[in-house]
Chains A and B, each alone.
Chain A
Amino acid sequence: MASLYELKDLSKRYTRGKESITIFEELTMSIPQGDFIAIMGPSGSGKTTLLNLLGGIDRPSSGSVECEGVRVDKLSEGKLAKWRSQHVGFIFQFYNLMPTLTAAQNVELPLLLTKLSGKQRKDRVATALDIVGLADRKGHRPRQLSGGQQQRVAIARAIVADPKVLLCDEPTGDLDRASADEILETLQLLNKELGKTIVMVTHDPSAAKYAARELHLDKGRFIEAKAEPAQ
């Protein structure tokens, strides 16, 4: 499979006053197109930080993040925002929906950055909500939806602009088992049927089973735990 991401000598340090903490040092890895990776590891090991770097909402201290030949770490703020809107979909632990907008309006947000007409946007939103099984909830506001349903709206929002990669930070961290399984099945479907590359951070070993492979991040290094997909 062709490689989607190439990370080379990636380092991330935070300096607090005189103190400097290193999250990871000279991390090198590649993520192939169509992969579904579960990243696990102890709290504070840098899982979220890695997702941030992949998604272009944070910059490395040194090293490079390359996605389809584009040096993401080198893009200007404006170009980076545009790149994010076209290449990545974010799924957060707390869904991050706009509470005052309906499900459909939330899903439509990324499309407002495109040249699509109102009609085209509406069609795309309907398709995305359909994929996550919420076609009948498009007029509902987040408050009127369960946690699992809110997360599915968030997934619809993440895929509506058809990005190649989905970055999920503990997407089931706030959900019960049944809802979590639904979300994970949806992610698996997106990976298998639509070929989305997925990088998912999770603390939950049974969630990680849905991924094609698991990586353990510890003290700035990766240990591959599972070479073969579970199913």
Chain B
Amino acid sequence: MFKQIGAVTMINLRSIPQRAGLSLATIISIALVTGVLLGFLAMSNGFRATLQGTGSDNVAVALRAGSQAELNSGLSSEDVRLIEEAPGVARDSEGRPLVSGELYVIVDGTKRASGTDANLPLRGVGPQALSLREGFEMVEGRMFEPGTNELVVGASVLREFSGFDLGETIRLGSNEWVVVGIFSTGGSVFESEIWADIAVIQNLYNRGTAVQSVRARLTSVEAIEDLRAWEEDEPRVNLDIESETDFFASQAGGTAVLIEFVGWPLAIIMAIGALAGAWNTMYSSVDTRMREIATLRAIGFSGFAAAVGTMVESLVLAALGGLVGALAIYLLFNGVSASTLGSGFTQVVFSFAVTGGSVIAGMVMAVVIGFFGGLVPAIRSAYVPLLTVHRSE
């Protein structure tokens, strides 16, 4: 049986060049589908990786209850003061609480690549903000002076947006700022932000003494429970408290899922198109081999062997398409940096990540297309009328 199937399969595969055009079209259409799927998966993976790489277990993020994102949150200076006194909050060597109330506003930036405007987050921070970000370092220039219109920009912002070079003056909204430093946080999401003194931003944006989020370093990872318990019992505050890790994971989750939500249906619709193409190719493969198949059957080969041969041809074309698509996406996009809407409707800069898992998903999809595209033609090849042997072609 295996010898039979092997021979039929070999005859099929060797005859592919006779249908080079159609076969190539099938490979390309399946490569496109795989490419689109992998592209979206790489985007969502990269996005997830960037946001998940951001958080720390040792830092708690407090937002106004129910606000979900920093942009929607609003907290008073009284909230900040209460958190500073709360249990589980760490203090520095001089006994000052490691708590940072921060403002988060949206400004327009111009993308280098397209020249179009895109949202950028401008974060107002106080002196404690740095101690709450691990891996923070100035790569160029210096930190802003409190009380001035100086700002520092994340390395990703500099890379993706124009006008933020060191020493430049830039107009954001109705205000002019001077770029005095470039900072890095080791690839995390904060690198997609611009930072300035919180007091200056509160003043320019008429926020009084309000903040939007409070970050607090915890005495230990477990101390988040103490902080939560305190919040429950403290009638003067109404907060959502999460570890920073969880905070970003849920933010990333939302957007990554959204990306996949677009990616999968698009890939599936394209897959249906590719399936029709594969079907057509295999149908014509069976058509052109009718007399050969009938001859093999007359010699005594089984219809099953003929069907397997057709199916293998279809699967091989599909797998080739999948590989081409995966390879193309890998070469074109893996590690390429991109930016997209982040959780707060701002630009988050991240890198495409083509992972093994998504390559497998793409290949599975390709092979599924091959299988269903080849199914009916395979069945048909099992039932080629024997009398086709007399056809002259």
Which residues on A are within 8 Å of B, measured CB to CB?
48, 52, 55, 57-58, 77-78, 81-82, 84-86, 90, 92-94, 96, 98-101, 109-110, 112-113, 157, 169
Contact = CB atoms under 8 A, between A and B. Distances in A.
In the A-B complex, the 3 residue pairs with the closest CB atoms: A85-B300, A100-B14, A57-B386
Given A96-B295, A109-B7, A58 B387 contact: yes
B299 interface: yes
A113 B300 contact: yes
A78 B1 CA distance: 13
B390 A112 contact: no
B16 to A, nearest CB: 9
Contacts of B295: 90, 92, 96, 98
Given A96-B291, A99-B15, A101-B14, A52 B296 contact: no
Contacts of B296: 98, 109
Interface of B: 3-4, 6-7, 10-11, 14-15, 291-292, 295-303, 386-387, 389-390, 392-393
Contacts of A109: 7, 296, 299, 301
B393 A94 contact: yes
B387 A81 contact: no
A21 to B, nearest CB: 16
Contacts, number: 68
15 contacts: A52-B386, A55-B298, A57-B386, A81-B301, A84-B298, A84-B300, A85-B299, A92-B390, A96-B291, A96-B295, A99-B15, A101-B10, A101-B14, A109-B296, A169-B390
Contacts of A169: 390
A55 B11 CA distance: 24
Given A52-B387, A100-B15, A101-B11, A90 B300 contact: no
Contact of A100 (B11, B300, B302, B390): B11
A81 B300 contact: yes
Contact of B299 (A90, A94, A101): A90
Contacts of B4: 112-113
Contacts of A99: 15, 292
Contact of B387 (A57, A93, A94): A57
A81 B297 contact: yes
Nearest to A57: B386
A169 B387 CA distance: 12
A55 B299 CA distance: 10
A57 B291 CA distance: 13
Contact of A98 (B11, B297, B386): B11
Nearest to A98: B11
A112 B302 contact: no
A187 B177 CA distance: 99
A90 B298 contact: yes
Contacts of A86: 300
Contacts of B297: 57, 81
Contacts of A77: 303
A96 B300 contact: no
A77 B384 CA distance: 13
B200 to A, nearest CB: 77
A19 B151 CA distance: 94
Most buried by B among A52, A113, A157: A113
Contacts of B301: 81, 109, 113
Nearest to A158: B299
B387 A96 contact: no
A84 B11 contact: no
B292 A96 contact: yes
B15 A110 contact: no
A81 B389 CA distance: 15
Contacts of A110: 299-300
